[in-house]
Chain A
Amino acid sequence: MNADSNLSQVADALWKPNRGLNNFVQRAVVITFAMFALISIATTFGIVASLVFETFEFFTAVPIWRFLTDRQWTPLFTNAQYGIFVLLSGTFLTSLIAIVVAVPLGLFSAICLSEYASPNLRRWLKPALELLAGVPSVVFGYFALLLVTPFLRSMFPQIAGFNALSAGLVLGISITPLIASLSEDAIYAVPDSLRQGCYALGTTRRETITGVVLPAALSGIVASCILAISRAVGETMIVALAAGQNPTMTLNPFVPIMTMTAYIVQVSLGDTPAGSLAYKSIFAVGTSLFLLTLILNVFSFWFVRRFQEKYE
């Protein structure tokens, strides 16, 4: 016993970790990072608070039932109307078109990239795809306005110069890389042992993908689609440039419409005096937008929690 502790003392003399500053640095790091975290949390609270405050002001002037039931959106007219569903229909229409384009395109690219492309091709295609995600949306907006719209009009002359179709299509292209990239990550994360197990049952590659790989990646794929929907709902430049500035309650993709984001841009850039009702209305619209994306995110969160598989 005695000899033993002697031995350990001898050994201890050989180990002198130099950590004099360690505790201090540790504390400093924790405090610094806590401050950064606090800044982002405070910013979020600030945004929500200003939204809530101005929105509240707006609803003291315009009762909420008018907001929900008016058939028109004309805040700048003398006989102003505030039917949010007019703007909502515009947002819904462009986002719907975008999703119809982006989900199949994005999913197919993801499947091709992860399951069919050779490792070499994948090394090139994935960064290319992510590059597409980095194109500024104003470029997409002019692409819609100056290329897609004239092309559509050459085929269907009845389409207006500003329309939801062109904006929606390009919006779809702009969110495709997001779906493709995130879905590809989800598909790539499916353990190879599952594919092997499936092939060993006598299945073709297509059967393996549709039967095992895609269901296993489902939660990630759905999450990527929902994220892309919230991106489409919040996207501003493309719809403001190409879909028009004309609040209309319609699901006709050929006529000019106005989305919630486009309205906010219009009022912010115009000469509406701060404090006026029209000015406050952009906060009400902003709050609606915020709630919409919040619901989408909560749903996505719930879905992932519910359906995510845990492999060891």
Chain B
Amino acid sequence: MVSETTATMTEPVIQMENLNVYYGSTLAVRDVNINIPYNQVMAFIGPSGCGKSTVLRCLNRMNDLIPSARVEGKVTYHGRDIYSSDVDAVDLRRRVGMVFQKPNPFPKSIYENIAFGARINGYQGDMDELVEDSLRKAAIWDEVKDQLKKSGLALSGGQQQRLCIARAIALQPDVILMDEPCSALDPISTLRVEELINQLKDQYTIVIVTHNMQQASRVSDYTAFFNAEATEQGGKQGFLVECDTTKTIFNNPREKSTQEYVSGRFG
């Protein structure tokens, strides 16, 4: 487990400062300040609708694709403001990869699912090697090595999700964002993906959204707890309650609401 000292010493890869996200004119999440440390696993937890996915999508500017979404405040990646005009979102997304809640392999062969992104981003190395390496890192190589020509859609849900993780790894990103990557998977596949996350954190910084408290405590080093409160207009507004080492959040959090949420006495 992570001790307090390493927690303060690791430099942040991504920093959010006073982040507000609007959908149209409604403020969906307000005033988020989080530092995501290098090569650690950060978990986002909190009740449904508190803005975990919204904040996650800010980190690789996937929110750009939602016409009504607007971001205020600052998000830096290795010290650079990713929302400044000289940062190309396409380039950013190659470095900050994403795995989605529902496995979404492309209707292409397993090989092509991996090679596609690398080729488009002008990868110059040996493609076969990259494909094998990515599939190995995603712990799915042994299951698919004899059927690389088969469609990615022909795999089981758990395999598809690991294929999607391999697809993200193939671009050699340094951050991987995962939005409830196990919510569509059975317990065995979930366990495999969790093991995988544990292996991957040597090389990658991982941010994972999860509804599963055990999962958060098993895989993450840091945990950010979000909550939502009703607004006068009748909507909900999300905010960050606290962010600390997972140990602290689960054992002696600062806020009472955190304590209640992680122990399941929430509502």
Which residues of A approach B to under 8 Å, CB–CB? 191, 193-194, 196-204, 207, 211-212, 215-216, 309-311
Measured between alpha carbons, how far is A135 from B117 in the docked complex, in Å?
44
Measured between alpha carbons, how far is A215 from B94 in the docked complex, in Å?
22
* Shortest CB distance B186–A (Å): 15
Determine if B98 is an interface residue (Cβ-Cβ < 8 Å): yes
30 CB contacts below 8 A, A to B, read A194-B104, A194-B106, A194-B107, A196-B65, A196-B100, A196-B104, A197-B100, A197-B104, A197-B106, A197-B164, A200-B62, A200-B93, A200-B98, A200-B168, A201-B94, A201-B167, A202-B90, A202-B91, A202-B92, A202-B121, A202-B171, A203-B90, A203-B93, A203-B120, A203-B121, A204-B90, A215-B107, A215-B108, A216-B106, A310-B153
15 further A-B pairs in the complex, CB-CB below 8 A; given A197-B164, A200-B62? A191-B104, A193-B104, A194-B107, A196-B65, A197-B167, A198-B106, A199-B65, A200-B100, A200-B168, A201-B97, A203-B120, A211-B120, A216-B106, A309-B151, A309-B153
Determine if B102 is an interface residue (Cβ-Cβ < 8 Å): yes
* Shortest CB distance B68–A (Å): 11
Kindly identify, within residues 54 to 95 of chain B, every residue whose CB is under 8 Å from any CB belonging to chain A: 60, 62, 65, 90-95
Q: Is the CB–CB distance between A201 and B104 below 8 Å?
A: no
Q: A207-B120, A216-B107, A309-B153 are in contact. Are A202 and B93 (CB under 8 A)?
A: yes
Tally of A-B Cβ pairs under 8 angstroms: 70
Interface residues on B, range: 20 to 34
Q: Is the CB–CB distance between B121 and A201 below 8 Å?
A: yes
Chain B residues, CB < 8 A from A211? 116, 120
Chain A residues, CB < 8 A from B93? 199-203
Which residues of B approach A to under 8 Å, CB–CB? 60, 62, 65, 90-95, 97-98, 100, 102, 104-108, 116-117, 120-121, 151, 153, 164, 167-168, 171
* Shortest CB distance A8–B (Å): 35
Interface centre among A197, A207, A310 (most CB of B within 10 A): A197
Chain A residues, CB < 8 A from B97? 200-201
Q: A211-B120, A310-B153 are in contact. Are A200 and B106 (CB under 8 A)?
A: no
Interface centre among A198, A200, A211 (most CB of B within 10 A): A200
Measured between alpha carbons, how far is A211 from B98 in the docked complex, in Å?
18
Measured between alpha carbons, how far is A212 from B108 in the docked complex, in Å?
9
The residue of chain A having its C-beta at the shortest distance from the C-beta of B113 within the complex is A197
The residue of chain B having its C-beta at the shortest distance from the C-beta of A309 within the complex is B107
Chain B residues, CB < 8 A from A310? 153
The residue of chain B having its C-beta at the shortest distance from the C-beta of A198 within the complex is B106
Q: Is the CB–CB distance between A201 and B171 below 8 Å?
A: yes
Interface centre among A193, A197, A201, A203 (most CB of B within 10 A): A201
* Shortest CB distance B210–A (Å): 19
* Shortest CB distance B77–A (Å): 13
Interface centre among B91, B105, B116 (most CB of A within 10 A): B116
Chain A residues, CB < 8 A from B98? 200
The residue of chain B having its C-beta at the shortest distance from the C-beta of A308 within the complex is B107
* Shortest CB distance B206–A (Å): 15
Chain B residues, CB < 8 A from A197? 100, 104-106, 164, 167
Chain B residues, CB < 8 A from A311? 107, 153
Measured between alpha carbons, how far is A196 from B97 in the docked complex, in Å?
12
Closest 10 pairs (CB-CB, A-B)? A202-B94, A201-B117, A200-B98, A309-B107, A193-B104, A202-B93, A197-B104, A216-B107, A202-B90, A207-B120
Measured between alpha carbons, how far is A280 from B100 in the docked complex, in Å?
64
Measured between alpha carbons, how far is A53 from B119 in the docked complex, in Å?
59
